Amino acid sequence: MSNGGESAAKVRYLVVKDDAEGQRIDNFLLSRLKGVPKSWVYRVLRKGEVRVNKGRVKPTRRLCVGDEVRIPPLRMASEKTSQPGDGLRRLIDASILYEDDQLLVVNKPSGVAVHGGSGVSHGVIETLRSLRPEAPYLELAHRLDRDTSGCLMLAKKRSALQQLQKLQLSGKVEKRYLALLSGRWRKGKVTADAPLQKNTLKSGERVVRVDPRGKNAITRFEVVERFDRTTLVEARLETGRTHQIRVHAQHLGTPIAGDEKYGKQEDNQTFRAGGLNRLFLHAWRLSFPWEGRKGGYRFEAPLPDELKSYLDRLK
């Protein structure tokens, strides 16, 4: 990195090892160059200053073991390398539920994005990389909406990420959520089987809608507790589409409490008046088999205090 305004003016060459096999070149650079802005990484890729085996590459190029990656000098005297603030670092550090040599699981707080972008400088992944500067590999295994709290998995090895991706594609990762719905259900169990399609509104806002042209999506809901005008349910994902639980809950006529995107404005005003100031959606359990580990993995994230307090007031 630069010191006193001077550039770190040496070209670096890295040989790809087993832990980075199949990783995209942009993610490889971001994980190796701690604190380097994304804008710098994509600019040098666009200009062809990053080479793999002496050839220009696109950001989506996936690496193979033995590839030689040329990294240009880090000329960033005019670009401040931003780091996550101490408050965010402490918050994420305190949210770690489990860690071993392959996996890291956090109880993601509501309001924190899983990664930077769209007006957010730092998310969970950037913060964890700053907390683990010695870690050669750290990647998200799945995602949660910014306003959703709960279990979020990260892989510490490329082989672990590949195994997690295979498990998710084959439906062997069980993901369970707790959600408070606006409305009262009579049935104890309901399955939402409705295809979902991503859309972009004229305002530029991205939303998901039930659409027969969309991708297959299945959510299984089960009532946990009924209140006067709301219902606490457990939602189990059969598929993993963007905003799936939120849109399926809306489709059933009972949007999630506090959902500013898919809920009703007047209902959300009532929830805020009662002390609910966030989306009531929490990823409370993750479980899946694991090669070489008897019984596999099972992680549980306790319901955040602000959601428990709101339920107590309803009771």
Whole-angstrom distance, CA of residue 63 vs CA of residue 209: 36
Average pLDDT estimate for 230-243: 95
Active site residue 145: yes
Domain ranges of the chain: 12-71, 86-162, 171-314
Query: pLDDT tens digits for 23-61?
Result: 999 888 988 886 677 778 888 998 899 999 999 999 999
Write the CB contacts of 270 (distance below 8 Å, at least 6 apart in sequence): none
- 171-314 CATH fold: Pseudouridine synthase (3.30.2350)
Q: Which of 26, 67, 93, 145 is catalytic?
A: 145
pLDDT at 33: 81
Q: What pLDDT is recorded for position 75? A: 60
CATH 3.30.2350.10 fits 86-162, yes or no: yes
Q: pLDDT tens for residues 160-212?
A: 999 999 999 999 999 999 999 999 999 999 999 999 999 988 777 889 999 99
Residue 245 neighbours by CB distance under 10 Å:
26
Domains 86-162 and 171-314 share a fold: yes
Neighbours of 241 (CB within 10 A): 20
pTM: 0.77
The CA-CA-CA angle for residues 158, 110, 156, to 5°, reads 15
Residue 206 has what pLDDT? 86
pLDDT value of position 83: 77
Fold classified for 12-71: 3.10.290
What is the strand order of the sheet 12-15 is part of? 12-15, 68-71, 51-52, 55-56
pLDDT of residue 8: 44
